[in-house]
Structure 1
Amino acid sequence: MARTLRRAQRTARQRGGRVRVLARAGGIGDVLWAAAASDLAAKHSPQDVLLFLTQPDMLEAVRLASPDITVIAPHLPNPHMQSLLRRVCSDVVEMVYEPHDTAGTHLVRTYLKQLGCPQQMPHPAWHFKHEPLPRAASPVACIYTGPSWPVREVPSSVWDEVVRRLKSELGLRVLQIMPLRPTVRLIPGCDERIIGWPLADLCNLFDQSALVLTIDSIMLHLAAGTRAPLVAIFGPTLASCRMFETPRQRSLAATVDCAGCHHRTPRLHWETGCPYDIACMQQISADPIMTAASQVLAPAAR
Structure 2
Amino acid sequence: MYLKRYKWIFLVVAMLIFFGVAFVQIHYQKKLERYQLEVFKIIVQRSVDLVSSGYFQWTELKEAIEKNDEEFIEEAFEEIKSLDPYIKEIKILNQPPDFEEEYYRVESDGERLWALFKIYDSMGEEMIADRTAYVEWNVAGILNSIGASVEFRKGGKKTFWGLEYRSKFGNKWFAVSFWSSLGGFSIILIIHSIFVRSILKFHYETEGLERMIKIIDKKDHYTALHSEYTSRIAVLLGKKLGLNKKELKELGIAGRLHDRTPTTQAIPLQGDSKWLL
Normalising by structure 2, we get a TM-score of 0.16
Structure with greater Cα Rg: 2
Normalising by structure 1, we get a TM-score of 0.15
